[in-house]
């Protein structure tokens, strides 16, 4: 049983209740016994002694007390033989003494030359108290224990469906859309109980959520595929226009836009596919991949008058999806080139991370805080775009458990670091 579980708490509360009831009962019995012995019995013996002395003044030959539970001994001229255990008692003392293997209560009182010792044997009285007091009290406690136990069992039975539902939801792999919807039919709940209402609500919510996720994935796949056709037509016509008298600058802008759109569509399609299945891991050399990407983006960097250099302090090898890493680095390097203007972009590779740093205009703290949200962009250098690059990069990094950190300051450029977990490194 888990220590934080509801059933564990119920059991702990039940046991604590039983312990407190038992302790309170034992304490009450002990206090009652002390009151009976130290107050009631003593007062009774004091009154018995006073009654004896008063009666003796009227009848000097009256016999000392001698009943089934009370024995009186007189120490004085013509008195009784006093046991040695009683001779050390002072007048007015009320104690227990050891006498013939028993421990009766003794009260001593002196009048003149005589001392009266009242010996009270409470064993039989204690037996009566046990029969008429302790046994009924034990019965009451037994009824309380049985009632509490039945209440505890009923409580466990009532919360069992709730605990079962919580365990079922806890074991549900929410990261896998194919298994994210649990089978709630296994939860055994009464028809009109709150748990049954909760199960119905969760099933309805799960149906709506799964339908929404499926529609989103379907739309992303369809949009990615459908957008490829017009892009292919645009690229084909660009090739035809390149042989005619058309402004080279306009053609380059169209080609850059088409390239950006193709990269965005590939990224969206990758995200849609990665939600439904695991991406295959491959043995990658990050240094080679970065150099290849820099070579592919060299034409864009030359047109922007931006220098790109790669600093390699180590050979970084990963086991990760190549497509995802390519998308992430392509977005980061292209963004750095686009927003730098005239300056340089530095790509640094160390033992466990990769840093893309530019000398662009940078961003203030408010812009940096909104940077990872879709359709948010930093200060541009006259470049078009939709502000989706870093939002997609962040989603891809989360998918592969890479840590993405962005640092920027106005007039000092922007630095983006991607840190890879140690189990992916070689």
Q: Is residue 378 domain-shared with residue 287, that is, in the same domain?
A: yes
Q: Is residue 196 domain-shared with residue 241, that is, in the same domain?
A: yes
Number of Cβ within a 10 Å radius of residue 245 = 5
Has residue 208 been placed in a domain?
Answer: yes
Count of domains forming the chain: 3
C-alpha to C-alpha distance for 220 and 268, rounded to whole angstroms:
7
C-alpha to C-alpha distance for 19 and 413, rounded to whole angstroms:
68
- Give yes or no for a contact between 312 and 349, defined as CB atoms under 8 angstroms apart: yes
C-alpha to C-alpha distance for 328 and 322, rounded to whole angstroms:
10
Q: Is residue 97 domain-shared with residue 33, that is, in the same domain?
A: yes
Number of Cβ within a 10 Å radius of residue 160 = 16
C-alpha to C-alpha distance for 383 and 390, rounded to whole angstroms:
15
- Give yes or no for a contact between 379 and 326, defined as CB atoms under 8 angstroms apart: no
Q: What angle do CA 387, 264, 304 make, to 5 degrees?
A: 65
Q: Is residue 29 domain-shared with residue 85, that is, in the same domain?
A: yes
Domain boundary among 69, 97, 128: 128
- Give yes or no for a contact between 421 and 402, defined as CB atoms under 8 angstroms apart: yes
Has residue 138 been placed in a domain?
Answer: no
Q: Is residue 195 domain-shared with residue 180, that is, in the same domain?
A: yes
Q: Is residue 178 domain-shared with residue 107, that is, in the same domain?
A: no
Q: Is residue 55 domain-shared with residue 104, that is, in the same domain?
A: yes
- Give yes or no for a contact between 123 and 100, defined as CB atoms under 8 angstroms apart: no
Has residue 135 been placed in a domain?
Answer: no
Has residue 156 been placed in a domain?
Answer: no
pLDDT (tens digit, 0 to 9) for every residue of the chain, 426 residues total? 455 566 677 778 888 888 888 888 878 777 777 776 677 778 888 898 888 888 888 888 888 888 877 888 888 877 788 888 888 888 888 888 888 778 888 889 888 888 888 988 766 666 656 666 677 777 788 888 888 888 877 777 777 777 677 777 777 766 655 556 666 776 766 666 677 777 777 777 777 777 777 767 766 666 666 666 667 767 776 776 766 666 676 666 677 667 667 766 766 666 666 555 566 788 999 999 999 989 888 888 888 889 999 999 999 999 998 888 988 898 899 888 888 877 899 999 998 999 999 998 888 888 777 766 654 555 544 444 434 557 778 888 888 899 999 998 888 889 999 999 999 987
3-class state of residue 68 by DSSP: coil
The 8-class DSSP code of residue 191 comes to T
**Residue 206: what are its φ and ψ, rounded to 5°?**
-65, -40
C-alpha to C-alpha distance for 333 and 90, rounded to whole angstroms:
104
3-class state of residue 122 by DSSP: coil
Tokens of 84: 């040695």
Q: Is residue 341 domain-shared with residue 298, that is, in the same domain?
A: yes
- Give yes or no for a contact between 360 and 342, defined as CB atoms under 8 angstroms apart: no
Strand partners, 416: 356, 406
Has residue 260 been placed in a domain?
Answer: yes
CATH number at residue 414: 3.30.565.10
Q: What angle do CA 92, 78, 67 make, to 5 degrees?
A: 60
Domain boundary among 278, 293, 327: 278
Q: Is residue 114 domain-shared with residue 182, that is, in the same domain?
A: no
Q: Which structural domain range is residue 293 located in? A: 280-424
Q: Is residue 306 domain-shared with residue 409, that is, in the same domain?
A: yes
Euclidean distance between the first and the last CA atom of the chain, given in angstroms as a whole number? 41
Cα four-point dihedral sign 175, 181, 187, 191: positive
Q: Is residue 274 domain-shared with residue 297, that is, in the same domain?
A: no
Pinpoint the alpha helices (H) of 59-134: 84-87, 123-129
3-class state of residue 105 by DSSP: strand
- Give yes or no for a contact between 323 and 278, defined as CB atoms under 8 angstroms apart: no
pTM of the model: 0.46
Strand partners, 281: none
Domain boundary among 255, 278, 301: 278
Among all chains, which residue has been given the structure tokens 């003392």?
93
Number of Cβ within a 10 Å radius of residue 329 = 22
**How many angstroms separate the Cα of 258 from the Cα of each of 264, 338, 384?**
10, 15, 12
Has residue 382 been placed in a domain?
Answer: yes
- Give yes or no for a contact between 384 and 257, defined as CB atoms under 8 angstroms apart: yes
Has residue 384 been placed in a domain?
Answer: yes
Has residue 161 been placed in a domain?
Answer: no
Among all chains, which residue has been given the structure tokens 């499926």?
214
CATH number at residue 267: 1.10.287.130
C-alpha to C-alpha distance for 103 and 108, rounded to whole angstroms:
15
**How many angstroms separate the Cα of 267 from the Cα of each of 212, 279, 375?**
21, 13, 16
Q: Is residue 287 domain-shared with residue 273, that is, in the same domain?
A: no
């Amino acid at each position: 049983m888990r220590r934080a579980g509801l059933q564990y708490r119920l059991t702990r509360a039940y046991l604590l209740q039983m312990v407190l009831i038992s302790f309170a009962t034992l304490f009450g019995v002990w206090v009652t016994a002390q009151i009976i012995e130290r107050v009631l019995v003593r007062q009774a013996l004091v009154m018995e002694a006073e009654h004896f002395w008063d009666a003796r003044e009227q009848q000097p030959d009256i016999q000392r007390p001698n009943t089934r539970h009370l024995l009186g001994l007189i120490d004085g001229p013509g008195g009784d033989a006093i046991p040695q255990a009683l001779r050390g008692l002072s007048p007015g003392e009320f104690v227990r003494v050891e006498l013939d293997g028993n421990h009766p209560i003794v009260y001593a009182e002196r009048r003149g030359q005589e001392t009266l010792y009242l010996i009270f044997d409470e064993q039989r009285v204690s037996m009566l108290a046990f029969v008429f007091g302790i046994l009924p009290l034990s019965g009451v406690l037994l009824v309380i224990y049985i009632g509490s136990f039945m209440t505890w069992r009923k409580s466990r039975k009532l919360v069992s469906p709730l605990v079962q539902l919580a365990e079922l939801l806890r074991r549900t792999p929410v990261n896998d859309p194919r298994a994210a919807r649990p089978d709630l039919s296994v939860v055994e709940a009464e028809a009109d109980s709150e748990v049954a209402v909760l199960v119905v609500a969760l099933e309805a919510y799960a149906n709506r959520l799964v339908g929404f996720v499926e529609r989103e994935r379907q739309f992303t796949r369809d949009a990615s595929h459908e957008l490829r056709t017009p892009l292919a037509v645009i690229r084909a016509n660009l090739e035809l226009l390149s042989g005619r008298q058309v402004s080279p600058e306009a053609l380059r802008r169209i080609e850059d836009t088409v390239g950006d759109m193709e990269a965005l569509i590939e990224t969206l399609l990758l995200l849609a596919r990665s939600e439904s299945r695991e991406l295959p891991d491959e043995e990658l050399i990050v240094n080679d991949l970065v150099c290849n990407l820099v070579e592919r983006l060299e034409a864009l960097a030359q047109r922007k008058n931006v220098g790109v250099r790669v600093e390699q302090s180590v050979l970084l090898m990963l086991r990760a999806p190549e497509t995802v890493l390519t998308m992430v680095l392509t977005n980061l390097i292209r963004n750095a080139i686009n927003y730098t203007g005239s300056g340089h972009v530095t790509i640094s590779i160390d033992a466990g991370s990769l840093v893309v740093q530019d000398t662009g205009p940078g961003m203030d703290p408010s812009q940096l805080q909104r940077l990872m949200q879709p359709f948010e962009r930093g200060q541009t250098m006259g470049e078009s775009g939709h502000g989706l690059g870093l939002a997609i990069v962040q989603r891809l990094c989360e998918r592969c458990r890479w840590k993405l950190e962005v640092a920027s300051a106005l007039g000092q450029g922007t630095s983006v670091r991607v840190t890879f977990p140690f189990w992916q490194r070689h």
